[in-house]
Structure 1
Amino acid sequence: MRKGFWLILLLVGGLILFFEPFRGAPPEPEVTVKGTSLETTSGSYCWHSLLRGQCVDYIYTTPLDMTAKQTPTVIKPGAIIDVTYNDGPTPKRIKVEEWQQNGTRKKVRLKDNQLTVPTEKGLYTYHVSAWWGKGDGNVAFLIDVK
């Protein structure tokens, strides 16, 4: 009898953690280059879970604004950046854009959770947007290719 109680308690606890009813915000990616974490800034998001739902709006107008106070991470030309979602559910869709300081932007291909930085030197802002069935979120980070 006692063994059955603990088994049921473990099963219920596992289900609660699996469905994440207490998560109030979307997962954020770990952004790394050669194992070193890059600073990210979170943008506006919406997230709906079993016990709560909310949308949070930040005043950023572009990803360039999001990274305005960041110190850029110096990266070698052609380096590989890893963008992984380890904390929470895997996104159904991810979009990455590369922004240059003059405001131009272009889509960047994320293959196997990795992106390749340009070979041209300069400052680049990356904007990563992700969508789940429960909501969406985005982050931005700044690199200096030298």
Structure 2
Amino acid sequence: MRKLFWMLLLVVLGGLILFFEPFRGAPPEPEVTVNKTTLETTSGSYCWQSLLRGQCVDYIYTTPLEMTAKQKPTRVEPGAKIHVVYSDGPTPSQIKTEEWQTGGEHRTIKLTNDQLTVPSKKGLYTYHVSSKWKKGDGNVAFSVEVK
């Protein structure tokens, strides 16, 4: 019985240690919400250096539009505020946000107070969020339909 207790304790503690920040194997991903609804995101290529390993993972996406091609866009009201928050892990030192439209047109937009505002014009919009940390970089994309 005592042996089982120590083995169980070792497994639990080992599992907890692996989830702590120095052992993270990939960059944190943001929680993306609008009106308390979580939006589906697609992760892109990344590089990350942790205590035990460093790795780069490359995906074949060529644009954020391709990243979100299989997503069902979330319907939002014109001018809706989308929250992009990194709550699981370190805060990025740099964040770049882009707004893409179907024809491939895109522009850099500002993320202010962890949020962006969708246009008032109806249409399909894809957002690409690229982030950098001391330990690496990563990116996600998501799409919304302004109705």
TM-score, with structure 1 as normaliser:
0.87
Calculate percent identity across the aligned residue pairs: 73
Structure 1 unpaired stretches of 5+: 1-15
Whether 1:74 and 2:103 are equivalent positions in the alignment is no
**SS of structure 1 residue aligned to 2:23:** coil
Once residues 29 and 44 of structure 1 are traced to their aligned partners in structure 2, the CA distance between those partners, rounded to angstroms, is 15
Aligned partner of 1:46 in structure 2 is 47
Correspondence list, 1:1-146, <5 A: 20-146=21-147
- Taking only aligned residues, the RMSD between alpha carbons, in angstroms, comes to 1.6
Once residues 20 and 140 of structure 1 are traced to their aligned partners in structure 2, the CA distance between those partners, rounded to angstroms, is 24
Once residues 78 and 57 of structure 1 are traced to their aligned partners in structure 2, the CA distance between those partners, rounded to angstroms, is 34
Once residues 18 and 110 of structure 2 are traced to their aligned partners in structure 1, the CA distance between those partners, rounded to angstroms, is 32
Aligned-pair distance for 1:49? 0.8
Alpha carbons of 1:88 and 1:17: their partners in 2 closer, same or farther (altered >3 Å)? Answer: farther
Once residues 37 and 65 of structure 1 are traced to their aligned partners in structure 2, the CA distance between those partners, rounded to angstroms, is 21
Aligned pairs, number:
132
Aligned-pair distance for 1:34? 1.1
- For 1:101, the aligned partner's letter is T
Structure 2 unpaired stretches of 5+: 1-16
- For 1:69, the aligned partner's letter is K
Ranges of 4+ aligned residues in structure 1 off by more than 2 Å: 16-19
